[in-house]
Structure 1
Amino acid sequence: MNSEQLHKTLRASQYAELVLEKHKELIENDYAFDAFLKPLSRTQIANIVDESLNEITDENQWMRVIRILRARLMFRWIWQDANQLTNVKQLTQELSYFADLAVCVAKNYARTALVAKHGEPIGYGGKVQDLIVIAMGKHGAQELNLSSDIDLIFAFDEQGETNGRKCIDVQQFCILWGQKLIYLLDHITADGFVFRVDMRLRPWGDGSALAISHVALEKYLSQHGREWERYAWIKARIVTGGEDGDDLLAMTRPFVFRKYVDYTAFEAMREMKAMIEREVQRRNIEDDIKLGAGGIREVEFIVQVFQLIYGGSKLELQDRQCLVSLNHLGEVGLLEEQAVAELEDAYLFLRRVEHAIQALNDQQTQSLPTEPDQRARMIETLGYSSWEDFLHVLNSKRSKVIYQFEHLIKEKEVDPLVESFAQIEKQLDEVLDENAKNLVYEFWHGHALKKLPAKAVQRLKMFWPHLIEAILQSDKPQMALVRLMPLVESVMRRTVYLVMLIESKGALQRLVKMATVSPWICEELTHYPVLLDEFLSMDFELPKRKDLEDSLRQQLLRIEIDQVEDQMRVLRLFKKSNVLTVAASDVLAESPLMKVSDALTDIAEVSVNATLHLAYQITAKKHGYPLCLDGQRCSLDHLAFAVIGYGKVGGIELGYGSDLDLVFIHYMDEQADTDGQKQISGFEFAMRVAQKFVSLMTTQTLDGRVYEVDTRLRPSGEAGLLVTSLKAFEQYQNKSAWVWEHQALVRARSIAGEQSLREKFEILRCDILTRERNEENVRAEVLKMREKMKDHLGSSKEQKKDGIFHLKQDAGGIVDIEFMAQYAVLAWSGSNPDLAHYSDNVRILEDAAKTSYLSSDDATALIQAYLSERAESHRLALANQSMQVNAADWLDTRKVVCKLWQRLIDPTANIALDKNDCV
């Protein structure tokens, strides 16, 4: 044992003197102590902790042993630091390893007694719940100082109950678990403490529940998370909690690191800096090397503000450790090499000073000592001959930090665009009519603006010239302005969107273009501004089916089964955001019509499938599971329930405003009871699943609804049961269905539910459609139904005289082509079953040509007419316009359709080729 090193250690720390008094055996064995001074890996520290606490069951003894171990390790770390046998990185890492292990052993020790009293905590999904411990701050970043407290957050995966005699819910169990963990580490005994534990960073802070579920944490961050919490969560790390903890931490990343370049982080940092400066002045702690000017916190702020701005797109900036991310900033060119070097040098120096301060008395402080003896001890440890020499170096380092910090956070110079506000307003004035000018005037002088906070008004004034510049570059400036004004009003309180649009010129230009093409998109963004998050970061590629499934599954996975409102919110925003993506791709990337329809249909099918499983789970949780007709239990893996899509969704031809025509069938034993506590019959179970499905889909909330659902195509229509068995469906189709119902069956397709039942339906559909039918009877029934639709839904005689053509319902329109395809299946598939294979019109017409029932030219002409009319219907939907168009523009297309209609369906039809109408 080196006596000179011992002298330095005891001079550096009065706390070390106290430890040595109690534990003289620390330095009695020279060989053991020399080995003790060598760097320790996490595994070596873990072995030391395990050996010390092995088989100790008495709580007082356990607490005493771990506190003594902490004192011994602190003596070692102070010795190493005082004698420069370690460095800041190694020391902070070893301290953090020990903190992790202390938390883990305390958690494990605390669990035993709780399980004995209350049983295992079981989530609703049947999985034993673990306490997820999240380390924040320096502990999370593995940068603990010599006398750090540890900032923790306790969480768990899902709610449920314990299975013991004294049953409590999972949250209460985890709260008790966390309280005991804190007590084991934080409680001060005659042997001191292990770590001070600070829980104030948890959602809602002091006074809130000590442990929070994954779902509740996600909801808090998305709805209530504040800007300073984004800074805090940068350093978040799971100490213990397994796979569930990893999922939970992944959920927090989008809250911290926005997908877009997020310049609002500057303002949040300025606000936090101002708050800290007020606190420094109030407490008179200018000499605090952490919080004072040029201190540790400013270095961290510089790094973190870049992380928040660019971390969503530059993943290397998501590292928790300050110095690692600082060097990444240099590598990606966001900070100059000299700035990185100066900040790293200052940070390491300040952290070494911090350790010297804290070693004196094992106190959590960063303030320079004022007593002469304490100062003398500290500068001796740091290697300075006088306090003045030390201050000179300290102030030099801090001044470099101050320079970099002030250079970073200073208010942006006035945008030249903002300075030319008056000129831009004058240009705008020249292209607006009086109504549009009044709209702008009322916006700037209305009550809504007067109620805005000053900061929001300031951001709005910064945003306005950027908006006007983009509008003036549009080919339809007045239209763009009028359509965008409601959107601006809806987001002017959520000014983060305004900042994003200021900083992203491309996104603003896209928004203006979308406004000129589609008022429907503008209205969606206005009513649901949360969709702007997706819009501003989307790549305008059509979503892929697997990505849709994965995305919705992950979102719903974290919502407990009884939180119906949250489920509905996820479903609605999933549908709306993805339909918006498709619309943007349609408008801006000019995606092909068929691919757009495929994508819209995929979104609907994924939504239907997820909603069916939710409805089934909710019903089963209350009543248990029914029996299938084969005697098996109808569990989630064996639903015995299917959703059949008719019309546009069945035909894979959904448009933007389409509702869903659905029919529900089941394969359950209707007489057998479910196996839950509140038993109901299989028939009633199936009914409740269907009712819950419709409710989840159609209930109007603040986020709108998922889809309108039309179930009138079920057997017996509105007079029939909402859900029917496969056998009853078959009997109805064979004995009672009208021809028009078989027409509807042409466009039917199973879209969700149990696979074997879906396959049975497809076989049944094919059997019904391919039966031999009299062509003349089919033709007469199809014609009768078509005339009825024209009378009720087509243009009036007056409208036709005015040159109006209803793109869908009038002669030569979309429905004529659909009816011809349906006629082809019903009339001809009896002798050629391949015609009944597909449910979409294009492939039906293609197959009719392959089987020679239609010529290749006729089929191609019909398909081209159909795609042209459908493409126009999509455009009209995006433009919020009706299906009534100028008949003269569609005369050639209608001639093609009407000629084939006359040949196939109505030979007596009078085709007036020289007029606007085909009758």
Structure 2
Amino acid sequence: MSDAPSDSLTESHWQDWLDWAVEQGLTPPDDPEFEPARRRVWEASEYVAISAARHPADLAELIASGDLARTYGAGDLAARLDARLEGAEDETALHKALRLLRRREMMRIIWRDIAGLAPLEETLEDLSELADVCIRGALDRLYPWTCAELGTPRDASGRPLHLLVLAMGKLGARELNLSSDIDLILAFAQPGTIEGGRRPLSHEQFFVRLGQRLVQALANKTVDGFVFRVDTRLRPFGEVGPLAMSFQAMEDYYQSQAREWERYAMIKARPVAGDPDDIEQLMSMLRPFVYRRYLDFGAFESLRELKRLIAKELYRRGMDANIKLGPGGIREIEFIGQAFQLVRGGRDPELQVRPIRTVLALLAQRELMPAEAVAQLDAAYVFLRLVENRLQAHRDQQTHRLPDDGPGQLRLARSMGYADWASFAVDLNAHRHLVQEQFDAVFALPATETEVEDAPLSAVWHGDRDPAHELELLERAGFADPEGVRTRVQQFRESCVRKGLSTRGHERLGLIMPHVLCVAAGCAHPDPALERVLRVMEAIVRRSAYLAMLAEHPLILTHLIQLSSLSPWFADQIGRHPLLLDELLDPRRLYAPLRRESLEAELDALLAHVDAEDLEQQMERLHQFAQGNQLRVAAADLTATISLMVVSDYLTEIAEVAVRRVLDLSHAHLVARHGRPTAIEGEDSGFLILGYGKLGGIELGYGSDLDLVFLHGSDSVNAMTDGPKEISNEQFYARLGQRIIHMMTTRTPSGQLYEVDMRLRPDGAKGMLVRSLKSFEHYQNENAWTWEHQALVRARPVAGDPGLAARFGAIRRAILCRARDPDQLRREVREMRARMRENLDKSGEGRFDLKQGAGGIADIEFMVQYTVLRWAADHPALTDWTDNVRLLDTLARLDLLPGHCAQDLTEAYKSLRAAYHRSALREQPKTVADDALRPERERVRALWQELMDD
């Protein structure tokens, strides 16, 4: 930038300072960078030029201290204020000290900003820190003075109560600009009455008086100016509400009377003064008001409306040149970030942050917006905030309006590093255009809103035409029973009226339902597809957030209808747990289930901000984790993105990750209370969870329960835990098992994690819930039935101590590798299978039981278990695996089954399991018609006769 001459008036102010300096025997620094910087500052900021001329000692001290050239450290500003306040004995002295500090620091901050010595982040941070220390410094004096005058407010226990100050807006986010007012909300912990003063006084009266003094200390104009303009209108009830309110009164307000825009405002709320315990209480109370636990897409609609009102007001007042509120301005960037925060912040606590640039970075990191778009928004934000500061630095005025006069435009352009207004305007307009483009993309009206009038089945939903015409539309669309569909839609519409749906709810349904009818009509079987989705709609219709989500994202409806048409299980899961609608938002995630490492990371994120003692929230997040990931597997399965065998792998990994986390949480809870068990076998917890059955065999299906067995590594009945509330190891592990079962099986509003079956433990249902590994080994060696050894074939550690897991593996191998009498073994296995078929086989009346029928899945499993127990003594490799397919592969490799027996059993097993699996997704009985899968079943029966019958 060339050094064009500065305005002669501002240069005369510099000459005034030089004349004063000569009188004081001072000279400007001989640093060659000082004068160019000074000229830039004087040209851009008439406020600094005049302040230096009127208060020359301030600039001299800034130069001498070196503060113009250095970045402040933590606590520097607070220390400076403390020094100024050291002799302040009354409010007059307090006011003067605050204003003198503000004048000095504003000169420094503006100098460093315009001279290019401080990046934007430093400028905003210094301004915010200045406001913080002034608020706290003022309160530190005003509170004891007010107590001395009126008495001290105390809670029921006698603890003194202090004023809590919430900074809102830019101060709340520590993004204060050069001439911003500060938005404050004042609160106190408890109502009550002050005794011992000159007269009884309510806590509210005390804190209102203290709040008034605080506002006056900051905002009153004196001969020394002011500190900060203060705006308290964001408080409950606005200007007509009390200046300070109790926490209870605030909670009542925000729960019942707060307006939608107050949620947006509260995103930035940051406590700057108050008792730490009170602060935690208030913020915990406010958090649910701001951040809903579901994805709240009503935020887009509300922010869209708020922006519309702002734009209307700006147009009326002719303020398109406003870089904060105008098109492509700072507020639009903030709205983009706030929309995603309000929608997702309840589910993603990391989004519960205040600075907008941090929010933008998270949007890119989570792929909620394209990284390039976020980079453009961030660059525009930095540029526009710099422009805002340069506008306000000129005369320390709170303005956001671009100048319309030539000198003003040139001054602004040069302060931003441009030679002229034209070159500056090119970049300014480019940034604003990009911001407006991104804002319009994020807040665009949903496709349903723009297309609904053209939807061919819109008339069917609205029911405003001739019934015959509606039936003709439905028949033409492909519905098999137009009359039944029309009646069902009419019933749903009338039920919405009976449920007292709001006007906005009916409007949203008017956008959603024509789309539902059209997409359902395009399914292979439109009638059941529509019925399943209507059941989902009935479950969510009174929950405005979900209607808003569907209205904003019609693609969710498309996925829901198409997947529900393939599986009633899918629709029922959504209907029972509407939170799962969130999973349909991103097709990249929906059809790409996560593997173990990613599952662990997702669960880490879900539980990261849950209190260690909040059992209910832990269970809720675990349910959310398991249900969401099972739904993704189903979506990928239904669309044939993954194969059957991989489906079971995915479902098994979800269960394992959940079980391991339940164990970790339960163990940590008990250790915190009782310490760790002592004198145990193992490397870590001394506790092991075994998976049997489908979990052990890595063959879980949808809705499978978990067969679990709990073991521990403590053998001494006298061993105790090492905590202050010691208990015996036996008690510790029994309680650990009970807590695990509780967390796994307790039904909460979001459902149940898993059904758990513990009957395969030693001695079955009458046995101890948790047994020692040594006791387990003894039982397996001395008391176990053959069927229990069959079950052991499919048993494996799924969570717990790695040392115990290795020891269990050795015990299992030794048991399975026992030499056995082949004839006796065959007879016992055959007899057990016969008893099972007699009790459980549901074949008959033209249907075949896929699992228990003769030639079904159980026959294959029993044959595999028999061959493992028969041959493991000679071929220990048979104990390496627990799943049927790899066991059959091993049997084939070892040539232990005749001919193509292993291959035939494998193919039959896959076919039968696929049918069983599909029945689960269709919520049908696990049976097929008698003529289905007949070749596979006959081959299994023939192999059973060859292998198992005499």
Using the size of structure 2 for normalisation, the TM-score is: 0.69
Q: Does residue 572 of structure 1 match 2:623?
A: yes
SS in 1 for 2:611: coil
Structure 2 unaligned blocks of 5 or more: 1-9, 17-40, 141-163, 188-209, 239-243, 345-349, 413-424, 461-469
The match for 1:269 among 303, 318, 336 is 303
- Within 5 Å, give how 1:486-635 maps onto structure 2: 486-498=535-547, 500-501=549-550, 504=553, 506-537=555-586, 538-629=589-680
Secondary structure in 2 matching 1:751: strand
Structure 1 runs not aligned, ≥5 long: 112-130, 155-178, 360-364, 369-375, 384-393, 908-919
Deviation at 1:850, TM superposition (A): 1.5
* 3-state DSSP of counterpart to 2:610: coil
Question: Does structure 2 conserve the Cα–Cα contact (< 8 Å) formed by 1:136 and 1:237?
Answer: no
2:698 equivalent in structure 1: 652
Change (3 A) 1:836 1:226: farther
Indicate conservation of the 8 Å contact 2:138/2:214, yes or no: no
Decide whether the 8 Å contact of 1:625 with 1:675 is kept in 2: yes
Q: Residues 87-98 of structure 1: matches in 2 within 5 Å? A: 94-98=123-127
User: 1:878 — aligned with what?
Assistant: 921
> Percent identity at matched positions?
32
Secondary structure in structure 1 of the residue aligned to 2:932: helix
Partner Cα separation in structure 2 for residue 833 and residue 225 of structure 1: 70
SS in 2 for 1:889: coil
CA displacement at 1:200 relative to structure 2: 9.7
**How do 1:178-217 and structure 2 match up within 5 A?**
none
Residue 723 of structure 2, aligned match among 652, 660, 676: 676
* Compared CA separation, residues 14 and 579, structure 1 to 2 (3 A): closer
Aligned pair in 2 of structure 1 residues 689, 187: CA closer, same or farther (>3 Å)? farther
Aligned-partner Cα distance in 2 for 1:293–1:102: 24
Q: Which of the numbers 697, 701, 715 marks the counterpart of 2:762? A: 715
- From the superposition, tell whether residues 197 and 821 of structure 1 become closer, same or farther in structure 2 (CA, over 3 Å): farther
CA separation of 1:60 and 1:697: change in aligned 2, threshold 3 A = farther
Q: Pairwise mapping of residues 301-340 of structure 1 onto structure 2 (< 5 A)?
A: 301-307=331-337, 320=356
Q: In structure 2, what is the equivalent of residue 462 of structure 1?
A: 511
User: Residue 116 of structure 1 aligns with which residue?
Assistant: none
Question: Does 1:145 find its partner at 2:178?
Answer: yes
Shift of 1:609: 0.6
CA shift in 2, pair 1:78/1:645, >3 Å: closer
Amino acid corresponding to residue 600 of structure 1 in structure 2: L
1:842 aligns with 2:885: yes
Equivalence for 2:150: none
Q: Counterparts in 2 of 1:432-471, with a 5 A limit?
A: 432-433=480-481, 434-447=483-496, 451-471=500-520
- Judge conservation of contact 1:690–1:722 (CA < 8 Å) in 2: yes
Q: Which residue of 2 is the match for residue 704 of structure 1?
A: 751
SS in 2 for 1:530: helix
In the aligned structure 1, how far is the partner of 2:236 from the partner of 2:839? 58
Tell me the secondary structure at the aligned position of residue 897 of structure 1.
helix
Give 1:480's aligned amino acid: A
Answer yes or no: is the 8 Å Cα contact 1:424–1:468 preserved in 2. Answer: no
| Partner SS for 2:710 | strand
Letter aligned with residue 694 of structure 1:
I
Which residue number in structure 2 is paired with residue 128 of structure 1?
A: none
Q: 1:305 to 1:600 in 2, by over 3 A?
A: same
AA matched with 2:128:
A
CA distance in 1, matches of 2:83, 2:834: 88
Q: Which amino acid aligns with 1:3?
A: S
Is the Cα contact below 8 Å between 1:555 and 1:570 reproduced in 2?
yes
1:81-124 Cα shifts (integer Å, max 9, x gaps) = 9xxx669997885253343477599999999xxxxxxxxxxxxx
Distance of 1:185 and 1:563 partners within structure 2:
43
Query: How has the CA–CA distance of structure 1 residues 68 and 348 changed in structure 2, closer, same or farther, with 3 Å as cutoff?
Result: closer
**Secondary structure in 2 aligned to 1:508?**
helix
Q: Distance in 2 between matches of 1:345 and 1:561?
A: 43
Match of 1:754 among 794, 801, 809: 801
Q: Secondary structure at the match of 1:72?
A: helix
- Give secondary structure in 1 for the equivalent of 2:949: coil
Pair 1:418–1:520, CA change in 2 (3 A): same
Instruction: Provide the C-alpha distance between the structure 2 equivalents of 1:448 and 1:665, rounded to a whole number of angstroms.
Output: 56
Task: Give the 3 Å change call, closer, same or farther, for CA 858–667 of structure 1 in structure 2.
Answer: same
**Normalised by the size of structure 1, how large is the TM-score?**
0.72
Q: Give the aligned CA root-mean-square deviation in angstroms.
A: 5.8
Once the two structures are TM-superposed, the CA of residue 511 in structure 1 deviates from its matched residue by: 2.0
Change (3 A) 1:644 1:28: closer
Could you tell me how far apart the structure 2 residues matched to 1:735 and 1:184 are?
A: 82
Partner of 2:897: 854
Task: Provide the C-alpha distance between the structure 2 equivalents of 1:356 and 1:334, rounded to a whole number of angstroms.
Answer: 32
Question: Would you say the 8 A contact 2:702–2:917 is kept in 1?
Answer: yes
Aligned pairs (5 A) from 1:98-247: 98-100=127-129, 137=170, 140=173, 142=175, 144-149=177-182, 229=263, 233=267
Contact 1:52-1:65 within 8 A present in 2 as well: no
- 1:163 aligned partner: none
The AA in structure 1 aligned to 2:450 is: D
CA contact (8 A) 2:128 2:171 kept: no
State the secondary structure of the residue aligned to 1:654. coil
* CA positional deviation for 1:470: 1.0
Q: Partner residue of 2:823?
A: 776
Is 1:300 paired with 2:330? yes
Give the distance between the partners of 1:55 and 1:697, measured in 2 at CA.
Answer: 59
Letter aligned with residue 99 of structure 1: S
Code of the residue aligned with 1:641 in structure 2: it is F
**Could you give the per-residue CA deviations for residues 50-90 of structure 1, whole angstroms, max 9, x where no partner exists?**
98579999797999988644321224567899xxx669997
Cα distance in 2 between the residues matched to 1:732 and 1:871: 36
Q: 1:347 to 1:723 in 2, by over 3 A?
A: closer
Pair 1:714–1:58, CA change in 2 (3 A): farther
Q: Is the partner of 1:471 in helix, strand or coil?
A: helix
In 1: Cα distance, 2:260 partner to 2:723 partner: 43
Letter paired with 1:518: S
Shift of 1:292: 9.1
Match of residue 4 from structure 1: 13
Cα pair distance change 1:618/1:334, threshold 3 Å? closer
Matched residues in 2 for 1:607 and 1:107: separation?
46
Distance change >3 Å, CA 888–CA 357, structure 1 → 2: same
The number of residues matched between the two structures is: 789
CA 884–293 in structure 1, closer or farther in 2 if over 3 Å, else same = same
1:694 is aligned to 741
The aligned counterpart of 1:815 is: 858
Distance 1:722 1:748 in 2: 17
**1:790 maps to 2:833:** no
Please state whether the residue corresponding to 1:645 is helix, strand or coil: strand
1:415 aligns with 2:462: no
Do the aligned residues in 2 keep the contact of 1:571 with 1:706 (CA within 8 Å)? yes
Q: Please point out which of 874, 896, 920 is paired with 1:831.
A: 874
Task: Kindly provide the amino acid, as one letter, of the partner of residue 73 in structure 1.
Answer: E
- Which amino acid in the other structure matches residue 4 of structure 1? H
Q: Equivalents in 2 of 1:853, 1:88: separation in Å?
A: 81
- Residues 253-264 of structure 1: matches in 2 within 5 Å? none
Q: Is the 8 A contact 1:514 1:584 kept in 2?
A: yes
Residue number in structure 2 paired with 1:725: 772
**How far did 1:619 drift?**
2.1
Letter in 2 for 1:144: N
CA distance in 2, matches of 1:551, 1:185: 49
Shift of the 187–628 alpha-carbon distance from structure 1 to 2, 3 Å rule, reads farther
Amino acid of the structure 2 residue aligned with 1:26: D
Change (3 A) 1:895 1:686: same
